[in-house]
Chains A and B, each alone.
Chain A
Amino acid sequence: MSKISDFIGKSAVENVKEALRRAREIEEYNALLSLTEERALERAAKVDTGEISGRLVGVPFVVKDNFLAFGAPTTAASKMLENFNAPLQATAVEKLEAEGAICIGKANLDAFAHGGSTENSAFGPTKNAADKTRVAGGSSGGSAVVTALDVVPFALGTDTGGSIRQPASFNGVVGIKPTYGAVSRYGVVAMASSTDTIGCFATNAEDADLVMEIMTGRDDKDMTTLPDFWNNQPEFAKKRIGLVKQCMTDDVDAEVRQKTLDYAEKLKQLGYEIEEVDLSMMQHSLAMYYIIVPAELSSNLARYDGVRYGHRAAEVKTLAELYGRSRNEGFMTENKRRIMIGSFVLSSGFFDAYYMQAQKARTLLIDEFKKLFTEYDALLMPVAPTPAFKIGENASDPIKMYLADIMTVPASLAGLPAVAAPAGNSDEGLPIGVQLIGDYKSDKNLLKLVSEVEKI
């Protein structure tokens, strides 16, 4: 797989043309919803004349189609925004463009990032890079697949409960969900405001670090962003890593467990002690997640009402009808499930029992993590209980689909950084990933660790 450095110092126009050619070649994977060809070639020409320069000069990349970007519609893989042409660009995209990177297209996702397989896209599922009969994972499935299939050396995604890490794992690439607030979310379609993060996919940890370093930092347009901390992280000094016991039970695929243990061996070779640790709140985290996240997204998705932008139902007579029908036609079934769950947990009579209960439980989860980080530099666990499942296998059972998120939601609820790293393939040839979770603002150290393992 290609690296960012393979593209530097070459003709940007050639880089872009090659990426576009490759994108067309892998069309059957349905990983990309649009190509921003015209704009990309224009920008590439400017790079080649020296008008644009920077650390990613002439490097093509792809963004998940919930990032507002010029040159193609921003659909969030929904009928609701099928024809939405963004009037602005996401801060993350602007920052990468300022360094000379060139966005060549927009990747498929579960509509509004609701899902863990990219099957909930209004434009059809994305196929797994290693096996076309399997899911790409999600919700950033398209971004993972274009990285794995060498269309681009990196791609952007969003991770609210595992949406970068899980597809990274399913397709055999590196994926990082940073500390909450590390990267501005301005210009990205909001899902759950207290856990939404922006991160990237890359073929190696060093590239992911470079992309993240460029994207991070405070942004006046997103008041949840943290002051820049990327290059100011105390090194891991405890030299101890906790292997989370709850993720190594019989419920987890045997090959996934074995790859996790193999990864632990490599960490030992690097001088880390590995100890089994308890993350007992993990068993409650999926229930917390499916209360808090629907609550927040039901509020965030209230803006799609068919009035100012997005899909508007035809032949409506009243405003109430316009809202109700536009929303019902524009959203996918999974969007509706989550919006209605959100309405339920926030409605009077249920608020304390569900929403408040979950926010309190979240405190207990965070406390448990904090305690572990007084003794360990990082925690190791699989990303998902199984490798990529078959397309359609979990589609009719939302709970089964949600269970695929069980190992990724804890870091999201706590706002902790987590990196998914390739850990080899199953006997069937399916990629398996492991996850390293660190304390707040230890993102770079996690990537450094993964980079060291890559070199073994």
Chain B
Amino acid sequence: MITISTSDIQHLASLSSLALTDDETDGLRQDLENIIGYIEQLGELDVSGVEPTYQVTGLSNVWREDEVQAGIPVEKLLDLAPEKQNNQVKVPQVL
């Protein structure tokens, strides 16, 4: 059975953009080890020659008319932003 180390958890947390606190890490490590240990059993199933299913109802390339329609007003969306300035969403410096 797979083992998940603390550094594996830190890697997954970083892939997931989660700044875990130290006291969360060990619990999650144990949980993930158990869960992955469970889902691992699927590896025993022979699926050779089977195509994967991503979409169950067989729809593909669904189009709508390319018409201009009223959307949600910018101000309404900006109202949702935690911080805003000059009609833009404000974030800390990127670089």
Whole-angstrom distance between the Cβ of A116 and the nearest chain B Cβ: 14
Complex contact B93–A308 (CB within 8 A): no
Question: Once bound together, how far apart are the Cα atoms of A428 and B94, in whole Å?
Answer: 59
Question: Once bound together, how far apart are the Cα atoms of A336 and B83, in whole Å?
Answer: 25
Q: Which residue of B lies closest to A290 (CB)?
A: B39
Of A84, A327, A345, A363, the residue contacting B50 (CB under 8 A) is A363
Question: Once bound together, how far apart are the Cα atoms of A362 and B17, in whole Å?
Answer: 29
Question: Once bound together, how far apart are the Cα atoms of A317 and B94, in whole Å?
Answer: 9
Chain A CB within 8 A of B1 CB:
no
Complex contact B19–A361 (CB within 8 A): no
Complex contact A366–B56 (CB within 8 A): yes
Whole-angstrom distance between the Cβ of B86 and the nearest chain A Cβ: 16
Q: For the side of the interface on A, what is the size category?
A: 35 or more
Complex contact A327–B19 (CB within 8 A): yes
**A84-B80, A357-B43 are known contacts. Are A336 and B57 too (CB-CB below 8 A)?**
no
**Cβ of A26: which chain B residues have Cβ within 8 Å of it?**
none
Question: Once bound together, how far apart are the Cα atoms of A290 and B65, in whole Å?
Answer: 37
Q: Fill in one digit per residue for B72-95: 1 if any A CB lies within 8 Å of its CB, else 0.
A: 100011011111000001011110
Whole-angstrom distance between the Cβ of B30 and the nearest chain A Cβ: 10
Question: Once bound together, how far apart are the Cα atoms of A305 and B91, in whole Å?
Answer: 11
Complex contact B35–A324 (CB within 8 A): no
Complex contact B24–A340 (CB within 8 A): no
**A87-B76, A366-B56 are known contacts. Are A340 and B94 too (CB-CB below 8 A)?**
no
Question: Number of B residues whose C-beta is below 8 Å from A?
Answer: 50
Of B16, B32, B35, B41, the residue contacting A298 (CB under 8 A) is B16
Chain B CB within 8 A of A325 CB:
yes
Residues of chain B touching chain A, judged by Cβ–Cβ distance below 8 Å, are 9, 12-13, 15-21, 24, 27-28, 31-32, 34-36, 38-43, 45, 47, 50-57, 59, 62, 64, 72, 76-77, 79-83, 89, 91-94
**Cβ of A324: which chain B residues have Cβ within 8 Å of it?**
17-19
Q: Which A297-322 residues have C-beta < 8 A from chain B?
A: 298, 302, 305-312, 316-322
Complex contact B39–A323 (CB within 8 A): no
**Cβ of A341: which chain B residues have Cβ within 8 Å of it?**
32, 35-36, 39
Chain B CB within 8 A of A254 CB:
no
Complex contact B28–A305 (CB within 8 A): no
**Cβ of A142: which chain B residues have Cβ within 8 Å of it?**
none
**Cβ of B20: which chain A residues have Cβ within 8 Å of it?**
328, 336
Complex contact B54–A327 (CB within 8 A): no
Chain B CB within 8 A of A252 CB:
no
**Cβ of B42: which chain A residues have Cβ within 8 Å of it?**
284, 287-288, 291, 354, 357-358, 361
Complex contact B43–A180 (CB within 8 A): no
Question: Once bound together, how far apart are the Cα atoms of A323 and B17, in whole Å?
Answer: 6
Q: Which residue of B lies closest to A364 (CB)?
A: B50
Complex contact B35–A194 (CB within 8 A): no
- Secondary structure at chain B's binding surface: helix, strand, loop or mixed? loop
Identify the interface centre among A85, A309, A333, A440: most chain B CB within 10 Å of its CB.
A309
Q: Which residue of B lies closest to A322 (CB)?
A: B92
Question: Once bound together, how far apart are the Cα atoms of A415 and B20, in whole Å?
Answer: 35
**Cβ of A87: which chain B residues have Cβ within 8 Å of it?**
72, 76-77, 79-80
Chain B CB within 8 A of A359 CB:
yes
Question: Once bound together, how far apart are the Cα atoms of A363 and B50, in whole Å?
Answer: 7
**Cβ of B17: which chain A residues have Cβ within 8 Å of it?**
302, 305, 320, 323-324, 327
Whole-angstrom distance between the Cβ of B1 and the nearest chain A Cβ: 13
Question: Once bound together, how far apart are the Cα atoms of A224 and B47, in whole Å?
Answer: 27
**Cβ of A101: which chain B residues have Cβ within 8 Å of it?**
none
**A224-B57, A319-B92, A363-B53 are known contacts. Are A347 and B18 too (CB-CB below 8 A)?**
no
Complex contact A398–B34 (CB within 8 A): yes
Question: Once bound together, how far apart are the Cα atoms of A307 and B83, in whole Å?
Answer: 8
Complex contact A353–B43 (CB within 8 A): yes
Complex contact A399–B76 (CB within 8 A): no
12 residue pairs bridging A and B, Cβ less than 8 Å apart:
A84-B80, A87-B77, A223-B64, A224-B59, A287-B42, A312-B83, A336-B28, A341-B35, A344-B32, A361-B42, A361-B50, A402-B38
**Cβ of B51: which chain A residues have Cβ within 8 Å of it?**
360, 363
Whole-angstrom distance between the Cβ of A88 and the nearest chain B Cβ: 6
Question: Once bound together, how far apart are the Cα atoms of A288 and B72, in whole Å?
Answer: 38
Whole-angstrom distance between the Cβ of B14 and the nearest chain A Cβ: 8
Complex contact A343–B19 (CB within 8 A): no
**Cβ of B43: which chain A residues have Cβ within 8 Å of it?**
353, 357
**A290-B38, A305-B17, A366-B56 are known contacts. Are A333 and B9 too (CB-CB below 8 A)?**
no
Q: Which residue of A lies closest to B34 (CB)?
A: A399
Complex contact A290–B35 (CB within 8 A): yes
Complex contact B77–A360 (CB within 8 A): no
Question: Once bound together, how far apart are the Cα atoms of A438 and B16, in whole Å?
Answer: 37
Whole-angstrom distance between the Cβ of B53 and the nearest chain A Cβ: 5
Identify the interface centre among A322, A328, A339, A340: most chain B CB within 10 Å of its CB.
A340
**Cβ of B59: which chain A residues have Cβ within 8 Å of it?**
181, 223-224, 226
